[in-house]
Amino acid sequence: MRISDIETPAILIDLDIMERNLARVASYARENALRLRPHTKTHKIPALGRKQIELGAAGLTVAKVGEAEVMLDSGTPDLLVAYPVIGRRKLERLMEVARRTRLTVALDNVICARQLSDAARAAQVNVGVLVECDVGMGRVGVNPGAELIELGKAVANLPRLDLLGIAFYPGHIKMLDEDGLAAIESLSQRVDRTVREFRAAGLNAEIVSGGSTPTLFHSHRVAGLNEIRPGTYIFNDRNTVETGACTLDDCAATILCTVVSTARPQQMILDGGSKTFSSDRLATGEPGFGLIREIPGALFSKMNEEHGYVDLRRAESAAVEVGDRVRVIPNHICVAMNLHEQVYGIRGGEVEQVWRVEARGKLQ
Amino acid sequence: MRISDIETPAILIDLDIMERNLARVASYARENALRLRPHTKTHKIPALGRKQIELGAAGLTVAKVGEAEVMLDSGTPDLLVAYPVIGRRKLERLMEVARRTRLTVALDNVICARQLSDAARAAQVNVGVLVECDVGMGRVGVNPGAELIELGKAVANLPRLDLLGIAFYPGHIKMLDEDGLAAIESLSQRVDRTVREFRAAGLNAEIVSGGSTPTLFHSHRVAGLNEIRPGTYIFNDRNTVETGACTLDDCAATILCTVVSTARPQQMILDGGSKTFSSDRLATGEPGFGLIREIPGALFSKMNEEHGYVDLRRAESAAVEVGDRVRVIPNHICVAMNLHEQVYGIRGGEVEQVWRVEARGKLQ
C-alpha cells in the first residue's frame, strides 16, 4: 500500500522520525540515570508501548483504567496510572490489571487512597502509590511540605498500599522563552527541598516522578528527580516545536487531508476539522490549527467539525485544486490520535504498518 | 441499571427531553410545510435516526461516507451526504450506499461532480445532486447567480446525476441578538432571488435545502426554502441556548463527571476534559466549557485532556468532596458525542437505553 492509496483524513507516522525520537529520549534518560516511564496517552497503541520498553523504558504510564487494560498487551512489566481512580467498579477493573503487572497509582487525597486500599485488600494484591504534589500547575496535587507528608503517612499506613514516592507534573512550565530556564531552576530547588523533607519524615521516596515533554531535556537539572514520563516526544507536534524541545523535522506525525473545495477566493477547505485535529489551539496563543507542509505561508485559520479553512492570501502558492492532498503537522498530536480509529506507519512513500489506536476513547 | 451505576465520565440523554425536542421540530416542519432531513452528526446513532424518520423526517443527512454506511441501519429511505466526496475508493463505497437507499450529494465544484458521475456510471446507479451556494458563511459553496447556474448546468449535463436543487448552510447567522432577525430577512431575499434565477435558467430546484439549529425556528421566514436539516435540536447544548433556539430545560444531554481532586482551594477537578467534552468554546466567546447543573456560579474554567478545572470562587456552594458526581451541560454536544463509545438514555433515575455511538469517529 502506498500513501496515495490512503483515504483521507488520516494520520501518517513517519517511522524514521519516530524511531529517532524514541532513541534520542532513551539515550537521554540512560545518560542521565533517569528512569523512563513514557506516557502512552500520546500514541495509545500497545505495539508502540512495547517498542518503548524494548528501548529501555522501565514501564509505561496511562491516565485511565481503560487505557491500562489495553496497554497490558504491550507486555509492560510495570504500569503507572497517573490519575486518581475513584469508584468501586473502576477499582475492581484496576485490580485485575494489578494481577497482571506491577501497578502504581498517583493520587492526591485520602478518599482515593482508602478506596484503593479497600479494593487492593478485597483483591489481595499490593499496589504502589506515588503521592502527588502541586509544583505550580494548580491542577491536582497537595502542597509540598506538611500536606504532602501527611498524605504520605496516611498512604503508608493503609493496608496493601506501598508508598513508593512522589509524583508531580510541571505542565505549567512551557519553555517558550528564557523564563523557562529560571522556572526549571526554581522547580529544582522546590523538588529538592520537598524530597528531603519527605524522607526526613521517614517516608519512602525511592521514586520521584516528574517531567513533561516541554521540560524533557532539562530533567537532569531538577535535583532529586529520578523518573520522567514524557508522552508527546514519540511523535512531537507544533506545541513541542514552540517549546524548543524539537524542530519541525522531528515531527513524526502529520495528518493527510484532501482539498474538497476552492469555491471561495484565496481559500481552500480541507476534509479535516475539529473531528480530525481537535480544536486545540497552540499553547502560545498564536493562530493556526496546524502547519500545512506543502504550502509555506498558508494559514490554517479556522475549523468546523469536518471543515478545515486554509487562508491562502499569504501563501507562496495559491494554485490548489480540489482533490489535491496536503500533510498537516497538528498543534497537539495526543488529542488527534484519540480521534482516529487507525494510523499509518510510513517509510519512503510506502505504508509499512497500520496500527489500530487500541486505547482510543477509553474515557473510563 | 441506575444512573449511580454508570462509570464516569459518561453522556446521559434525558429521554423525556429528547422526545419533546424531536416532537417540537417535527411539528414545526409539518406546520410550515418544510421537508425535514435531520443531520445525524449530532447523535451518530442509527436507532435515533429511525426515530426521526418515524416522526416524519423525509430522510437523514450525514457528512461522511462512513456515516452514510452506518446510518443505513436506520432504514432511512433517503440520505443526503452534505459534504463533497472526493477520491475513487470513497466514491465506490458511496455507490454501495446508493444501491441501498435514495442518495443525494451536495457539492460545489465540477471536479467533484465529474468524479461522482463517473462512479455512478461505473456502478450503474443514479445519484441526486444539490449544488451548494454560499450565503455568507464563507466556507463551501459558489456564489449565487451566474456561478451557481453554471455549476447547475454542468451537473444537469453529467450522466447518472439528477440535479434536484440547491443547498446552503447559514451557519454564520448565530441569532445571538437582534441582528439575527435582520440577517434572516436578508437571507430570505437572497435565497428567493437565487432560486428564481436558477429556475429561470431552466434548472430544477425542487429541493431548496438550508437551515441550521440556531436559525431553525425562523426557517419559515426564508422565501423559497423548502427543506431544513438541523442536527443539534435533538439534544441541544449551551450554544443552542445562547442562540435563543431553546432554554436550558431543553438540553437533553449532560455529561456525568466525578470530582477526582479538591486539593487546590476553591477548585475542583472533574474526570472529564477535552477528551470527554472537546475543547470547543462557546460561540459567543464567553468563558466556560460547560454548565455544572448542581452548582450555580461554578465556572468550568479550563481543561486538559483528562482534567476539567472548575473554579468555585463564585459558586453558591464550594462544599464538594472527592467522589461527588455532577452533570454538566456541554457547549457543543455533536463533538462530545464523537468522543464517547456509548451513551445512556435515562428516565427518572433509571437507565432505559444504552446506545453505541455507531458513527463515532467515521472520518472517511
- Is B134 in contact with A171 (Cβ distance < 8 A)? no
- Out of B260, B264, B335, the one facing A86 most closely (by C-beta) is B260
Which of B6, B147, B275, B339 has the highest number of chain A CBs within 10 A, making it the mutation to test binding with A?
A: B275
pLDDT at B208: 98
Residue A153: pLDDT band (50, 70, 90) is very high
Q: Average pLDDT, whole number, for chain B?
A: 96
- Out of A84, A307, A323, the one facing B111 most closely (by C-beta) is A323
Q: Residue B302 and residue A53: Cα distance in Å, rounded?
A: 33
- Is A86 in contact with B267 (Cβ distance < 8 A)? no
Does B279 map to a domain? yes
Which of A150, A168, A364 has the highest number of chain B CBs within 10 A, making it the mutation to test binding with B?
A: A364
Residue of chain B with shortest Cα separation from A332: B305
- Out of A274, A323, A339, the one facing B361 most closely (by C-beta) is A339
Residue of chain B with shortest Cα separation from A90: B7
pLDDT at A211: 76
Model confidence at B318: pLDDT above 80 = no
Asked if residue A229 and residue A258 are part of one domain, the reply reads no
Residue B213: C-alpha distances to residues A102, A195, B176, B218, B285 (Å): 50, 55, 13, 10, 18
Which residues neighbour B27 within 8 Å (Cβ) at sequence distance 6 or greater?
A: none
Asked if residue B161 and residue B28 are part of one domain, the reply reads yes
Q: Average pLDDT, whole number, for chain A?
A: 96
Domain boundary among B172, B205, B235: B235
Asked if residue B205 and residue B79 are part of one domain, the reply reads yes
Cell numbers at residue B310, please? Answer: 472548575
- Is B322 in contact with A279 (Cβ distance < 8 A)? no
- Out of B304, B323, B338, the one facing A86 most closely (by C-beta) is B323
pLDDT at A354: 98
Which of A275, A354, A356 has the highest number of chain B CBs within 10 A, making it the mutation to test binding with B?
A: A275
pLDDT at B339: 98
Q: Looking at residues B318-334, what average pLDDT do you find?
A: 95
Which of B88, B116, B264 has the highest number of chain A CBs within 10 A, making it the mutation to test binding with A?
A: B264
Q: How many residues does chain B have?
A: 364
Which residues neighbour A53 within 8 Å (Cβ) at sequence distance 6 or greater?
A: A59, A60, A74, A75, A76, A77
Among candidates B305, B9, B3, which has minimal Cα distance to A90?
B9
For residue range B36-52, list pLDDT tens digits in order: 999 999 999 999 999 99
- Is A269 in contact with B134 (Cβ distance < 8 A)? no
pLDDT at A317: 79
Q: Looking at residues B208-235, what average pLDDT do you find?
A: 94
- Is B335 in contact with A10 (Cβ distance < 8 A)? no
For residue range B71-127, list pLDDT tens digits in order: 999 999 999 999 999 999 999 999 999 999 999 999 999 999 999 999 999 999 999
CATH number of the domain residue A188 falls in? 3.20.20.10
Does A67 map to a domain? yes
Residues of chain B in contact with residue A260, where contact means CB-CB under 8 angstroms, are 83-84, 86, 112, 140
Asked if residue B271 and residue B143 are part of one domain, the reply reads no
Q: Looking at residues A138-142, what average pLDDT do you find?
A: 95
Does A62 map to a domain? yes
| Structural contact between residues A42 and A216, judged by C-beta atoms closer than 8 angstroms | no
Residue B292: pLDDT band (50, 70, 90) is very high
- Out of B86, B259, B280, the one facing A260 most closely (by C-beta) is B86
Structural domain harbouring A351: 3-9+246-356
Q: How many CB pairs under 8 A join A and B?
A: 177
Does A323 map to a domain? yes
Asked if residue B218 and residue B326 are part of one domain, the reply reads no
CATH number of the domain residue B329 falls in? 2.40.37.20
Number of domains within chain A: 2
- Out of B7, B63, B138, the one facing A306 most closely (by C-beta) is B63
Query: What is the distance in angstroms between the Cα of B91 and the nearest Cα belonging to chain A?
Result: 11
For residue range A189-231, list pLDDT tens digits in order: 999 999 999 999 999 999 999 978 889 999 999 999 999 999 9
pLDDT at A212: 83
Residue of chain B with shortest Cα separation from A364: B8
pLDDT at B178: 81
Query: What is the distance in angstroms between the Cα of A302 and the nearest Cα belonging to chain B?
Result: 10
Question: What Rg do the C-alpha atoms of chain B give, in angstroms?
Answer: 22
- Is A83 in contact with B306 (Cβ distance < 8 A)? yes
Residue B11: pLDDT band (50, 70, 90) is very high
Asked if residue B286 and residue B197 are part of one domain, the reply reads no
Residue of chain B with shortest Cα separation from A136: B264
Q: First and final CA of chain B: distance in angstroms? A: 35
Which of B137, B259, B343, B364 has the highest number of chain A CBs within 10 A, making it the mutation to test binding with A?
A: B364
- Is B139 in contact with A309 (Cβ distance < 8 A)? yes
Which of B140, B321, B360 has the highest number of chain A CBs within 10 A, making it the mutation to test binding with A?
A: B140
- Is B83 in contact with A340 (Cβ distance < 8 A)? no
Strand blocks (E) in B82-160: 102-107, 127-132
Q: Lowest-pLDDT range, B29-33, B68-72, B179-183, B205-209?
A: B179-183
- Out of B9, B115, B278, the one facing A279 most closely (by C-beta) is B278
Q: Residue A323 and residue A321: Cα distance in Å, rounded?
A: 6
Which residues neighbour A196 within 8 Å (Cβ) at sequence distance 6 or greater?
A: A224
Domain boundary among B208, B235, B262: B235
Residue of chain A with shortest Cα separation from B332: A305
Query: What is the distance in angstroms between the Cα of A279 and the nearest Cα belonging to chain B?
Result: 6
Asked if residue B294 and residue B185 are part of one domain, the reply reads no
- Is B274 in contact with A278 (Cβ distance < 8 A)? yes
Residue B266: pLDDT band (50, 70, 90) is very high
Residue A179: pLDDT band (50, 70, 90) is confident
- Is B108 in contact with A263 (Cβ distance < 8 A)? yes
Does B363 map to a domain? no
Does A240 map to a domain? no
- Out of A139, A280, A309, the one facing B309 most closely (by C-beta) is A139
pLDDT at A177: 79
Domain boundary among A168, A202, A234: A234
Asked if residue A193 and residue A72 are part of one domain, the reply reads yes
Does A362 map to a domain? no
- Out of A171, A259, A263, the one facing B141 most closely (by C-beta) is A263
For residue range A73-129, list pLDDT tens digits in order: 999 999 999 999 999 999 999 999 999 999 999 999 999 999 999 999 999 999 999
pLDDT at A55: 97
Residue A318: pLDDT band (50, 70, 90) is confident
| Structural contact between residues A58 and A37, judged by C-beta atoms closer than 8 angstroms | yes
Residue of chain B with shortest Cα separation from A309: B139
- Is A363 in contact with B141 (Cβ distance < 8 A)? no
- Out of B7, B141, B341, the one facing A90 most closely (by C-beta) is B7
Share of chain B above pLDDT 70, in %: 100
Q: Is the pTM of this model over 0.90?
A: yes
Asked if residue A276 and residue A160 are part of one domain, the reply reads no
SS (H, E, C) chain A: CEHHHCCCCEEEEEHHHHHHHHHHHHHHHHHCCCEECCECCCCCCHHHHHHHHHCCCCCEEECCHHHHHHHHHHCCCEEEECCCCCCHHHHHHHHHHHHHCEEEEEECCHHHHHHHHHHHHHHCCCEEEEEEECCCCCCCCECCCHHHHHHHHHHHCCCCEEEEEEECCCCCCCCCCCHHHHHHHHHHHHHHHHHHHHHHCCCCCCEEEECCCCCHHHHHHCCCCCEECCCHHHCCCHHHHHCCCCCHHHCCEEEEEEEEECCCCCEEEECCCHHHHCCCCCCCCCCCCEEECCCCCCEEEEECCCCEEEECCCCCCCCCCCCCEEEEEECCHHHHHCCCCEEEEEECCEEEEEEECCCCCCCC
- Is A7 in contact with B262 (Cβ distance < 8 A)? no
Asked if residue A275 and residue A214 are part of one domain, the reply reads no
Does B362 map to a domain? no
- Out of A108, A321, A364, the one facing B111 most closely (by C-beta) is A321
Residues of chain A in contact with residue B335, where contact means CB-CB under 8 angstroms, are 274-275, 279, 305
pLDDT at B346: 98
For residue range B144-191, list pLDDT tens digits in order: 999 999 999 999 999 999 999 999 999 889 887 788 899 999 999 999
Query: What is the distance in angstroms between the Cα of B106 and the nearest Cα belonging to chain A?
Result: 12
Model confidence at A176: pLDDT above 90 = no
Share of chain B above pLDDT 90, in %: 92
Asked if residue B268 and residue B186 are part of one domain, the reply reads no
Asked if residue A211 and residue A333 are part of one domain, the reply reads no
Query: What is the distance in angstroms between the Cα of B311 and the nearest Cα belonging to chain A?
Result: 11
Model confidence at A347: pLDDT above 80 = yes
Residue B71: C-alpha distances to residues B38, B61, B64 (Å): 12, 9, 10
- Is A307 in contact with B272 (Cβ distance < 8 A)? no
- Which ipTM did the prediction report? 0.96
Residue A174: pLDDT band (50, 70, 90) is confident
